[in-house]
Amino acid sequence: MKRRRSLLERHPARFSQTAMSQITYQMAQSRALRLKCPQCGEGPLFSGLMTMPHHCSHCGFVFERAPGFFLGSTYMNYGFTTLSLTAIYMGLHYGLDISNAVLAPILLAYCLVMPLILFRYARAWWLAMDCYFDTPETDMDEANWQRQQADLADRARQQMEREAADR
Ligand SMILES: [Zn+2]
């Protein structure tokens, strides 16, 4: 699989001086549960009920790590809702012998409400796990970025020299 571009490469201005460190599994879990930025554990992940700011107000970490990044969290949300729905239905219908007619509206309401309740936690968990398995920053990225910037500056200078020579 192609390596995802690092945060530094995508947002060099914001992160040129910041080298972020690897978080532990426990840190990732607890920050997700508290709906906090996975990188610093301080900045809130949501500014409204469902609104996510572009980046962390505390450390500047950009939450949407790639286009469509949070699509994965909807799969998690969907998966949890359907599995728990099945378990609840089995328990209530076959265990407690509650009829389908009674269960249908209750479980329908569950299907509608549960994903909304889980929305923020699914996103927080998805982001935290992604940061745990794919550290946003390393010293290697910093070095790569500096090399890349030097390369770009070189190319720009050569281009300008060529243009000057053409005139
Ligand atoms: Zn942060």
pLDDT in tens, 8-64: 555 544 443 344 567 899 999 999 999 999 999 999 999 988 899 999 999 888 999
Question: How far does CA 147 lie from the centroid of its chain?
Answer: 27
Residue 159 contacts residue 40 (beta carbons within 8 Å) = no
CA distance 30 to 51: 21
Written as six digits, the tokens of 32 are 């997700």
Q: How many CB atoms lie within 10 A of CB 76?
A: 16
CA of 37 to the centre of ligand 1 (A): 5
Written as six digits, the tokens of 85 are 């729905």
pLDDT for position 45: 95
The more confident residue out of 82 and 17 is: 82
CA distance 142 to 155: 20
Whether 144 has a pLDDT exceeding 60, the answer reads yes
Query: Per-residue pLDDT averaged across 72-101, rounded?
Result: 93
Measured between its terminal Cα atoms, the distance across the chain in Å is: 46
CA of 89 to the centre of ligand 1 (A): 40
Q: List Cα–Cα distances, 3 to 36, 64, 132, 149, in angstroms.
A: 26, 16, 15, 19
CA of 116 to the centre of ligand 1 (A): 24
Residue 6 contacts residue 130 (beta carbons within 8 Å) = no
Written as six digits, the tokens of 127 are 């982001």
pTM of the predicted structure, to 2 decimals = 0.65
The more confident residue out of 1 and 84 is: 84
Residue 95 contacts residue 49 (beta carbons within 8 Å) = no
Written as six digits, the tokens of 10 are 């995508």
Whether 70 has a pLDDT exceeding 90, the answer reads yes
CA of 152 to the centre of ligand 1 (A): 29
pLDDT for position 6: 58
* Residue 44, phi then psi, degrees to nearest 5: -70, 145
Whether 147 has a pLDDT exceeding 80, the answer reads no
CA of 42 to the centre of ligand 1 (A): 6
CA of 55 to the centre of ligand 1 (A): 8
- Which of 67-81, 101-115, 118-132, 153-167 is predicted with the least confidence, judged by mean pLDDT? 153-167
CA of 163 to the centre of ligand 1 (A): 44
The pLDDT tens digits for 89-115 are 999 999 999 999 999 999 999 999 999
